[in-house]
Structure 1
Amino acid sequence: MNSSTSQRVLSGMRPTGLLHLGHLHGVLKNWVNLQHEYQCYFFVADWHALTTEYDNTGIIAQSVWDMIIDWLAVGINPGEATLFIQSKVPEHAELHLLLSMSTPLSWLERIPTYKDQQQKLKDKDLSTYGFLGYPLLQSADILVYKAGLVPVGDDQVAHIEFTRELARRFNHIYGREADFEEKSNEAIRKMGKKNAKLYKDLRKRYQEQGDGEALNTARVLIDNQQNISLGDKKRLWGYLEGETRTILPEPEPLLTAVAKMPGLDGQKMSKSYN
């Protein structure tokens, strides 16, 4: 994760009805604080709503605008954060499709919340790809913006780890180059003697000692280079840890405090993508 992505936060909510106290205490209060500290992207996850409301789309269309009005009312500021509707950005679906081509089916089936939600929503027919694959669409939401942090409760950390696995697999498959090491060393030389030496020292410390601080310092060093291309930066990020370019940075969970009281629907108020 480079320094710019480490300050980028992404979070979304599903428009499946009116918001309540659960959303306020479990999600929106966190958003109000985060918008002043990070580069925040908050979105209406209307495609995610289709996973359970595919036969009741009318509620989605109305809830989209009601939800945005409520966000503004509690203090989410479009001047501080970027607000958008998921379906208005087709790149979400495009990356979801591309990721689906290389994602093992077993990875989706093992996600803990898959069977749990099926049990909770027995009145709905959820034997669909959309419901099975919603964590993959969630990962596409995160990765398309190269978000470094995703606010979640403890029960959602598995979804972020799934996204990290997807990014590693994608980088391994598509980030390989026959002359990767040669191009990486060429990019290092472009940094200048002082920065090149520092980069090599930091890389050595990380690879030989597992020094996480050295890794983070090296990432910041790369990100601050003004005289190398984005392609070279991707090589240098990847060269720190292995032998492939880092095309999709791995996000980290931003753990949020769990509210003490349940939402009006009985569910935990810490849920992401409510």
Structure 2
Amino acid sequence: MFDTRLKDAASQVQAHLDRVLGELDDLPVVQAMHYASAGGKRLRAFLVLESARLHGIAPDQAIWAATAVEALHAYSLVHDDLPCMDDDDLRRGLPTVHVKWDQATAVLAGDALQTLAFELLARVEASNDPAVRAELVLTLARASGAAGMVKGQALDIAAETAATPLTLEQITELQAGKTGALIEWSACAGAVLAGADTSALSIYAQKLGLAFQIWDDVLDVEGDAETVGKAVGKDADAGKATFVSLLGLEAAKTRAETLVKEACSALDCYGDEAETLRQAARFVISRHS
């Protein structure tokens, strides 16, 4: 059931992104936006659509928030891959945007994808209630900005030249912003659309997001570039502290498994209706990319 819904979410979001981007002029920057936003697991979009389903929100309404968070996620990857950031040449098994085009096009494509995310949330199709649209925009801005994803990336960059490696507590804070903030926004979006309480989904997503990042660290050690779709072993080569380097490989895996169990338990209030979200949590520590 989970695999089917994840694939369906990916197809729906891709079709919606293609339609939205198809309204723009066929310029190199728009071509780069298409390229950057194609592919991937679409886990964040899936979380939006599933949390919306839990709260009785129609898919044709939820798709706007689902597409918005994928556009914003795509922007973050384009910018993260730049030479001034992580300097990666490969993303999802393909050349990164700045390699395929150039750095200026990559920056502009990322900028445009970021602003597109907020445009999609601000459109009336996202919700008939302007207060709900405003809440979605406000919370995504917080999740992606200097209190969320950007903060996490800034801490990550600063750690590369720090005199001492980060502690476990510091890495947890870093990843709560860099990876966890968008995952939490995605999981709570359906409740926001319905004007419902987000507390259970928030706890679920916080546990899920941390497990996701721990498993990324595991894959950086155990994975291969062809399967993962990007360079591996970079953290160890750079001497960066990670969950694996601090906890050890097996302890890191155990910690991720515990977090997944806690994430699943947070959904008890939804009963069997949340089983697909539980499967999503289990998926993040079984994936190979």
Higher-Rg structure is: 1
Q: Which has the higher strand share?
A: 1
The two structures have a TM-score, normalised by structure 1, of 0.28
Q: Which has the higher helix share?
A: 2
Tell me: higher relative CO, structure 1 or 2? Use CA pairs within 8 A at least 6 residues apart: 1
